[in-house]
Homo-oligomer: A and B are copies of this chain.
Amino acid sequence: MADAQQIKKVGDIIRADDQRLYIVPSAPGKRSDDDTKITDMLIAFFEAVQRGENADKAFEMIEARFIEIRDALETGTEIETHLDLIKAEVMGGKGLDYAASRGEYLNGILIADYLGFDFIDPAEVIFFDTDGEYEPEKTRTVLRGTLRHTEKAVIPGFYGSMPDGRIKAFSRGGSDITGAIVARAARAEVYENWTDVSGFLVTDPRIVDNPDVIKKITYRELRELSYMGATVLHEDAVFPVFKANIPINIRNTNDPGDGGTMIVPSVDPGESGVITGIAGKKGFTVMSVEKAKMNAELGFGRRVLTALEKNGIRFEHMPSGIDTLGVVLSDSEIEGKEPQLLDDVYNLCQPDSLEVFKGLALVATVGHGMIHNIGVAARLFDALAKAGVNIRMIDQGSSEINIIVGVDEDDFETAIRAIYGAFCS
């Protein structure tokens, strides 16, 4: 919500359905491509204060943005008082999270006044422990109690408080998390996440021009796709509502008539298309272990994984032949650890050969519609063959909702376009 015009649009959306009870706004964003987000302005102000520089100019820009919004909304909110207090608090030593989260705080106050909703400060209802870890139980209890005494409220996203009262923020993307927490505490029928796109796309628009929007996707599918790099929603935001079986609806404030993407706990067979999404990532390495009769050797696979664990390396996949076992690793996981890892695998497993192949990309094709749907694999591999893509690895687990194909990094985009073409056009 970059400006007053945007807030008015959101106001229309909220008023269009009186079941929209709790609103979790983020801070005002960019009004144009060369604009600065309020949150970044607040952080710049904080850093100037920390360095002992004169930060008045930096704060004036922030003030100007909020006064402009207030005036356009005609709420008559005493925003200047809030701004003065924030400036004084930051100059008096309040921390980065306090400063960075004031955009949400002030925006929340303005929107509450504009809508005539109650304002709830997350500092009083969302809690972190002394280590800065989010506390779901305490939050749920207190938040649920507070919501019981309000009919309609605005609860800014992104932050809460620690036991000593200090403000603590979620990582970036944290407004989505607050939204999910509120939805769960309120036992909402649906958690609407309004953004500037009409939901999730079947695949990356940088690879496929103008891909279809996913109408309905399960938590499971979303997780599989987001793991592979397709993400519009903060991952942690899915879990609280997932636990409470609340559907999430991704909607577009610029196109409120579009139904967007509905994220649901489960779908009925036949309700979805064959595939739901295609995602992928470059930057994988295969460690290939060969040993005659490894399958007859109790604990062989376990020892390979022990070597990984010893080096603090998580693995992605472990496709196996008869005398071979491949371990697919993210390049970032093995950076600087490769010589020690190979040493450990040698010592623990005594393989006949041990090789490392770089430059693997993984492409995941995901969809509940693939279950028991004969011919999905044929269509997929036919498309890849016609596109001239050499297949280096295939992994389809027992879940059947995901086929993961390993290809050369050079073939990555070609592979995704080919699969999209086979199923979605």
Give A contacts to B, CB under 8 Å: 220, 223-224, 227-228, 239, 242, 286, 288, 290, 292, 295-299, 301-302, 305-306, 308-309, 312-326, 357, 364, 372, 374-386, 388-404, 406
Contacts and interface: CB of A to CB of B under 8 A. Distances in A.
25 contacts: A223-B322, A224-B321, A288-B398, A299-B305, A305-B305, A317-B319, A319-B396, A319-B398, A320-B395, A324-B398, A324-B402, A325-B397, A326-B399, A374-B388, A374-B389, A375-B385, A376-B391, A377-B384, A378-B378, A378-B384, A378-B385, A381-B382, A393-B396, A393-B397, A394-B394
A393 to B, nearest CB: 6
Sort A-B residue pairs by CB-CB distance and give the 9 closest, nearest first. Answer: A326-B398, A375-B385, A378-B385, A302-B305, A394-B396, A378-B381, A377-B381, A378-B382, A319-B397
B302 A306 contact: yes
A219 to B, nearest CB: 9
A321 B288 contact: no
B395 A403 contact: no
A395 B392 contact: no
Nearest to A289: B398
A392 B398 contact: yes
A39 B309 CA distance: 52
A330 to B, nearest CB: 9
B220 A401 contact: no
Nearest to A225: B322
Q: Is the interface of A mostly helix, strand, loop or mixed?
A: mixed
A314 B302 contact: no
Nearest to A235: B293
A313 B299 CA distance: 8
B318 A320 contact: yes
Nearest to A238: B292
A279 to B, nearest CB: 10
Contacts of A302: 302, 305-306, 308-309
A314 B296 contact: yes
Contact of A393 (B288, B386, B390, B398): B398
Given A302-B309, A374-B389, 5 more contacts: A227-B322, A319-B396, A325-B397, A326-B399, A395-B395
